[in-house]
Amino acid sequence: MNTFKAAIAALAIFAPGLAVADTVADFYKGKSIRFLIRTPPGGDYDSYSRLFARHMWRHVPGQPQMVPQQMTGGGGIVAANFMGNIGPKDGTVISIISQGLPVDQALGLNDSLKVDLRTFNWIGNIVDANQLLVVWHTSPTKSLEDARKRSTTIGSTGAGSISVQLPAFYNNVLGTRFKIIVGYAGGQAVDLAMESGEVEGRGTNPLSGYKASKPHYLRDNLINPLIQVGLKKEPELPNVPLLLEQQVPDEDKPLLEFMSLAVAVGRPLATSPGVPAERVAALRKAFWDTIKDPEFIAEANKTNSEIRPVAGEELAKHIATLIGAPQRVKDRMKVVLEPRSSDTQSAKGAK
């Protein structure tokens, strides 16, 4: 028996990774991980969250259940504040953070954001996809040039959401005349408003999001993308203008670069600040193991859920770069991302 105990002790010394894995498994066994969803049901944040919740649990040591939970409000700020300030800091809460919040923090756009996203533990970016501003096929606005000539109603969610920031940016930097209708509960609500003619278009959504939640929009040519934002064009949209290609004065070029980099944050999956390093490492490994899982791949393909992952370590550096951008760029960005009062209207009064 003593020899057996000595052998086990030696194994613990020479295989520390195994000991850490056992520790993580012991923690998660019998527990649940809450997967917070910052939007109402039906949009791509919801569909991606539920897709990962159905498969990722198998790859976390101890195989904890993953329980999707809607936590909406403030364009994702409510969920982020909960993770950063209220919820447990032990790796039992994860969420796809709102894409616009790193920019919001960098520029101090919304006092209700009470967390430092640099302290979050980033698990990985699910999909690095360009953001599109689209109009419904019946809209008289057919091009970005048309949008400079006529007022076009664009549905958006709440302050802090990239769906508000990007149309405001286009108005202030590119000279468009988008009328931003704010206050919709989420992307699904904006889609319904667009379909009914309450608004002409949607402020922003990635191509991957439409593929996952509204593939018939693309198949039946129901939406017309006016501009795409990212570091390079989507291969499927070679004729849709890229923000980085727009002609602007030299002093505004860093603004296009900042905004394009911000979009590359994609759909960033995180757990709370303060989570022990071994659990963060286990969640990051589970993320990559999920992406390679044949069952996950089969369902992602079936639901048109595009997966273009970025490692959590790289995502963390990306977000730190945005928040730490030169002050002169941030000062100017703060101005151009703020919609003018004449450019906004409450969704409650939308017609």
Q: Where are the domains of the chain?
A: 20-127+265-324, 131-263+329-349
7 pLDDT band, cuts 50/70/90, is very low
Task: Over range 93-97, report the average pLDDT.
Answer: 97
Percentage of the chain beyond pLDDT 70 is: 92
Q: So what's the pLDDT on residue 21?
A: 65
Angstrom distance (rounded) from CA 87 to CA 51:
23
Nearest to 193 by CA among 346, 300, 1, 12: 346
What residues have CB less than 8 Å from 241, skipping those under 6 apart?
144, 226, 227, 228
Q: Once rounded to an integer, what is the mean pLDDT over residues 303-309?
A: 88
Residue 160: the pLDDT is 56
pTM attached to this predicted model: 0.74
Output the CA torsion 148→150→153→158 (10° steps): 40
From 118-132, 215-229, 242-256, 333-347, the region with the lowest mean pLDDT: 333-347
Q: What is the pLDDT of residues 270-282, one digit of tens each?
A: 999 999 999 999 9
Please tell me the distance from the alpha carbon of residue 340 to that of residue 74, in angstroms, as a whole number: 19
Q: Which CATH superfamily is domain 20-127+265-324 in?
A: Bordetella uptake gene, domain 1 (3.40.190.150)
What's the CA gap between 268 and 31, in Å, rounded? Answer: 24
pLDDT digits (tens, 9 = 90+) for 112-140: 999 999 999 999 999 988 999 999 999 99
**pLDDT confidence tier of residue 351, bands split at 50, 70 and 90:** very low
The arithmetic mean of pLDDT across residues 160-165, rounded, is: 78
342: Cβ contacts below 8 Å, ≥ 6 apart = none
| pLDDT computed for residue 225 by the predictor | 98
Task: Reply yes or no on whether the pLDDT at 69 is more than 60.
Answer: yes
Domain 131-263+329-349 is in which class?
Answer: alpha beta
Query: What is the 3-class SS of the chain, one letter each residue?
Result: CHHHHHHHHHHHHHCHHHHHHHHHHHHHCCCEEEEEECCCCCCHHHHHHHHHHHHHHHHCCCCCEEEEEECCCHHHHHHHHHHHHHCCCCCCEEEECCCCHHHHHHHCCCCCCCCCHHHCEEEEECECCCEEEEEECCCCCCCHHHHHHCCEEEECCCCCCHHHHHHHHHHHHHCCCEEEEECCCCHHHHHHHHHHCCCCEEEEEEHHHHHHHCHHHHHCCCEEEEEEECCCCCCCCCCCCEHHHCCCCHHHHHHHHHHHHHHCCCCEEEECCCCCHHHHHHHHHHHHHHHHCHHHHHHHHHCCCCCECEEHHHHHHHHHHHHCCCHHHHHHHHHHCCCCHHHEEEHHHCC
pLDDT band at 99 (very low <50, low <70, confident <90, very high): confident
Instruction: State mean pLDDT over 139-153.
Output: 97
Asked if domains 20-127+265-324 and 131-263+329-349 share a fold, the reply is: yes
* pLDDT score recorded for residue 344: 84
Mean pLDDT value across the chain: 90
In this prediction, residue 82 carries a pLDDT of: 97
Could you tell me the pLDDT band of residue 233, with boundaries at 50, 70 and 90? very high
Whole-angstrom CA distances from 51 to 113, 242, 256 are 27, 30, 33
Of residues 213 and 3, more confidence is placed in 213
Closest CA to 194 of 243, 241, 132, 144: 132
**Angstrom distance (rounded) from CA 44 to CA 314:** 23
